[in-house]
Copies of this chain bind each other. A is one copy, B any other.
Amino acid sequence: MFDLLKTDGSARRGRLRLPHGTVETPVFQPCGTYGSVKGMTPFDLHATGTQMLLGNTFHLMLRPGDRQIRDLGGLHEFMGWTGPILTDSGGFQVFSLGDLRKLNEEGVVFRSPVNGDKVELTPESSITVQANLGSDVVMVLDECTAHPATHKQADASMQLSLRWARRCRAAFNAGREESVNPDAKLFGIVQGGMYDDLRRVSLQGLQDIGFDGYAIGGLSVGESKEDMQRVMETLLPHMPEQRPRYLMGVGTPQDLVRGVALGVDMFDCVMPTRNGRNGYLFSHSGVVKIRNAQHKNSELPIDERCGCYTCQNFTRAYLHHLDRCGEMLGGMLMTQHNLYYYHNLMAQLREAIETGTFRTLARSLFNDWNNNDEFV
């Protein structure tokens, strides 16, 4: 399901063949939390260059419920998105609930923030929910190791995640025929906190079970950029070459370039969409904060090098005005721009790998960005 087409240093140009289509990697996946990328129609998503979406299991199992989505033909049919969808396991959001959830060997029990109901999430139920959603890439349920954590804590947490990964694999195999998407792929998630030795143990354990792809979890949790970089540098060379590698919940444009440089194939993050709605816009020379008074009369587009619908048709002055008036159109147009920016960045990186010019491109990108250090 994964073809490694070309490498340039450690950077990889690949192709992911999934039931709902082929994805050119490295790829960035926008987040479609409740079965919608906020403010974007499927038409708009295609126009920005979106190949593949992430759906949130936690949100969708509560509203409208995975059984209902299954009855309506699965998440693709429900939201009108014909391309591939990856779903997370729901674990990350459950762990974010803090005191509202209770963990044991079996799984995790929590109170629904929607209606207060007691809900259980186990490795088996997470797989069932994702099968009901019909996602193309199913993620194992893992425990998100706290940060900071001692070596002992991180080890125990990682071992629990490994046991859960084994149960997920078994549940996935057993439930395949009843899934809305019987040809879905299952990815494992490497944990181990900031400890390189634990990361290696986790990866080996997951490979012993066997997965279609391997994700790096537990980063972008508040650690320093140096820690993140070191964990990736140490781990990635050991990850199986013929399987896709997915860095979860990351990140800034800089993070994406660094990740690709180290051999990551897939990313997801709420940053382009959430920041877009809040007027925090990416450009080749850094961030444009549209709320700043300096943009009130600006006839410039967000980024004069950008080919998106927003930059082709609207000025910063107009976006500033829409934002100030709380107009929906502001969030829509700024989200379109940010997603286009992210996807276009990935397209540039893919092309550079193909032509063996990745390092040159990365240097030039960082050079432009460094004019604006808020970006990093």
A-side residues, CB < 8 A to B, are 34-43, 63-64, 68, 71-72, 78-80, 296-297, 299, 309, 313-315, 317-318, 320-322, 324-325, 327-333
Contact = CB atoms under 8 A, between A and B. Distances in A.
Given A35-B318, A297-B71, A63 B324 contact: yes
Nearest to A73: B299
Contact of A328 (B80, B299, B322, B331): B331
A97 to B, nearest CB: 18
A43 B330 CA distance: 15
B41 A333 contact: yes
Contact of A315 (B40, B72, B324): B72
Contacts of A297: 68, 71-72
Contacts of A299: 72
A103 to B, nearest CB: 27
A332 B41 contact: yes
Copies of this chain in the oligomer: 2
B35 A313 contact: no
B36 A317 contact: no
Given A34-B327, A35-B321, A313 B72 contact: no
A117 to B, nearest CB: 16
A40 B329 CA distance: 6
A328 B296 contact: no
A369 B342 CA distance: 47
A80 B329 CA distance: 12
A43, A79, A313, A328, most chain B CB atoms within 10 A: A328
Contacts of A321: 34-35, 63-64, 78
A41 B40 CA distance: 11
Contacts of A329: 36-41
B63 A328 contact: no
